[in-house]
Amino acid sequence: MSFFICPKCKEQLNKNENALVCKNGHSFDLARQGYVNLLMPNKRHSLSPGDSHEMVMSRRRFLESGKYEIFSDKLNEIVSALSVDSQKTTIVDCGCGEGYYDGRLCEYLDKLKINYKLCGFDISKKAVRAAAGKYKQISFAVASTFDIPVKEKSADIAIAVFSPMVEKEFYRVLKPNGYLIYAVPGVRHLMGLKETVYDEPYENTEKDTEYKGFDFVNRHSVNGKITVSGEEAVDLFKMTPYYYKTELSAIDKIRLKGEIETEIQFDFLVYKKEEMKNSEDF
């Protein structure tokens, strides 16, 4: 039995040779790297939604440099603290990217001998292909956070790192008393990079902590400073939302700047699923 459900009829998918098939006969081929594409055609999506190959490779190079390791370490600590003793903890990463955080999370949980199962998905086929090619022990799919490809009330923990907040879907997939870990950029995250690129750099807005269907548990803020230069600085810029909406001349500014010192800050917001009398209230 696979982690995933059919995006057409929502029935469980089971492995059948090189495909995942539901009881209604809907079939989805497994790619050579081991992932499955469950993203249904949608007018909101381009033909190739999500990060490009160039952006995925920039993210992989930068993350594997270790400069965001403090965020990965904190995520690992939070997940392990929420894992259920003596039971298998089911974890779903909603927006897994190229798999860096999931790969390190598996290593950490394995060392602690925590019993778990983990799957991840992302809307970017390029990102999922990279993740599945490297982290063979994890189940990956191409899918959208607006249509999470797992069963109702099946996850103990849902992780969303810089992903859209889709309360209804997170609520649907979490078990009663399940937890959502929602990572957002801190107020001064990458301010040094912004000062290099923009004439009027701005701070990030602190995220509201109230979401329908969830009780706020706590906020874990992680802060640090890093120094980047050259192509590493360009890689950092390419893995941010700023790259989508900034003129390409910004990359020239980054290269000409030389060394850039910047603050880095993640806030991990932890929520517990609140049992609602009627989930149709969303």
Q: pLDDT per position in the chain (282 positions), as tens?
A: 688 999 999 999 999 989 999 999 999 999 999 999 999 877 455 667 888 899 999 999 999 999 999 999 999 999 999 997 668 999 999 999 999 999 999 999 999 999 999 999 999 999 999 999 999 999 999 999 999 999 999 999 999 999 999 999 999 999 999 999 999 999 999 999 999 999 889 898 887 789 999 999 999 999 999 999 999 999 999 998 888 777 778 888 999 998 999 999 999 999 999 987 665 666
pLDDT value of residue 48: 72
Q: What is the pLDDT of residue 47?
A: 64
CB contact at 8 A, 100 and 64: yes
What is the spatial distance between Cα 268 and Cα 101, in angstroms, rounded to a whole number? Answer: 14
Contact 157, 79 (CB under 8 A): yes
Nearest to 212 by CA among 168, 246, 247: 168
Task: Name the percent of the chain lying above pLDDT 90.
Answer: 80
Which among 150, 156, 152 is positioned nearest to 115, based on CA atoms? 156
pLDDT per position as a tens digit, 3-22: 899 999 999 999 998 999 99
Distance between CA atoms of residues 61 and 65, nearest Å = 6
Q: Residue 86's pLDDT is what? A: 65
pTM score of the predicted model: 0.94
Name the token pair of 277: 């009398």
Helices 53-63 and 230-238: crossing angle, nearest 10°? 120
List beta partners, residue 139.
Answer: 119
Q: Which homologous superfamily is 38-281 in?
A: Vaccinia Virus protein VP39 (3.40.50.150)
Q: Dump the DSSP string for 126-165.
A: HHHHHHHHH-TTSEEEE-BTTB-SS-TT-EEEEEEES---
Strand partners, 225: 263
| pLDDT score recorded for residue 43 | 46
Q: Answer whether 160's CB lies under 8 Å from 211's CB.
A: no
Segments making up each domain of the chain, as ranges: 1-30, 38-281
First-to-last alpha carbon distance for the chain, in angstroms, is: 31
Question: Going along 79-125, which residue ranges are E strands?
Answer: 89-94, 116-122
Structure tokens at 281: 């209230």
For 66, 70, 175, 217, 273, the CA distances from 104, given in Å and listed in that order, are 11, 12, 24, 24, 26
71-104 tens-digit pLDDT = 999 999 999 999 976 689 999 999 999 999 999 9
CA distance 35 to 200: 42
Give the pair of three-digit tokens for residue 114.
């925590």
Rounded to an integer, what is the distance from CA 184 to the centroid of its chain? 11
| DSSP structure string for 196-247 | HH-SS--PPPPPP---TTEEEEEEEEEEEEEEE-HHHHHHHHHTSGGGTTS-
Which distant-in-sequence residues (6+ apart) come within 8 Å of 268 by Cβ? 74, 75, 78, 181, 182, 183, 219, 220, 221, 222
